[in-house]
Structure 1
Amino acid sequence: MSHQISPVTIDKIGFVKALESLVASINQTDKIYIELVCMGFEQTENYPTNYLNSIYRIIQELLQNIIKHAEATNAIIQLIEHEDIIVIMAEDNGLGLTPERLKNPKGSEMNSIFSKVSYLKGTIEIETPGNGTLINIELPNQNINK
């Protein structure tokens, strides 16, 4: 999964189509069902390429963690474009994070996600409401024509 979509492909087929393709390839495995909800991003040409690539990689890594560690059967990824922020929410019905992992998520396989979110000057919140995990990421919107 890590090499399925390159930045060149995002440029070629578009940001949203690349995300849809990633989710479709995961759903074809019949191991988990991922729902992708994308609101906005009709005009992505005003975003820096590295910004869109970073968002794509964050979502890709969230999905990898769900597949590898959560033992979930369903997940939803929501990507919402607001005027000032971009919101990424990932929710699954898996095992959830242990209390130890919640105390120190940066020391886990989420390290790369934390690094990317930090680089983009965003915030990340993680909740484990009983079963599953809910991750909420907010990034400053870098659309140059907001």
Structure 2
Amino acid sequence: GAEWLNNMPVGDGWFPNQPQQPVVELQYRVGPGLTQNVVEYLYAEIQAVHLRQGTATNNQVRQWVQTQVGRPNDDAGHIIGRNQGGLGTVNWNIFPQSGNFNRGAYAQNIESVFNDTVTRHGVARIWFRFVYGNAQEPYRPTRFNYFLIHNNGSAT
């Protein structure tokens, strides 16, 4: 179910001041002993103008993922992909993930659904929730959910 959507930040999260990119609002994970800002919730509106306009990750973001929030071999994966206009140079659009997942299932299944939605409906409104279920790796998500609403009001 999508009950988790009831806990999404609406107006009380953080708003990136980055024009020309699709992320509208996000909320960082907070808790005792947490020293790194990792995203717990994110909302984006991807439009045709965003497609193929994102940026690649840089060394700083990859270092952050591989030494502070993820595993040494993790990819610094975009939440909102580069092909959907997502920025790869800011921590708030990055999460640690295995390279196989980042370049495999995530790119082929999830990002392609977003692209198809924008192409067919003009806009994709997307909510992400990241779950951190491993106390030994408190900054590396163990899973995530996403909820996509098409411009016509239907959901995925």
TM-score, normalised via structure 2 length? 0.34
TM-score, normalised via structure 1 length? 0.36
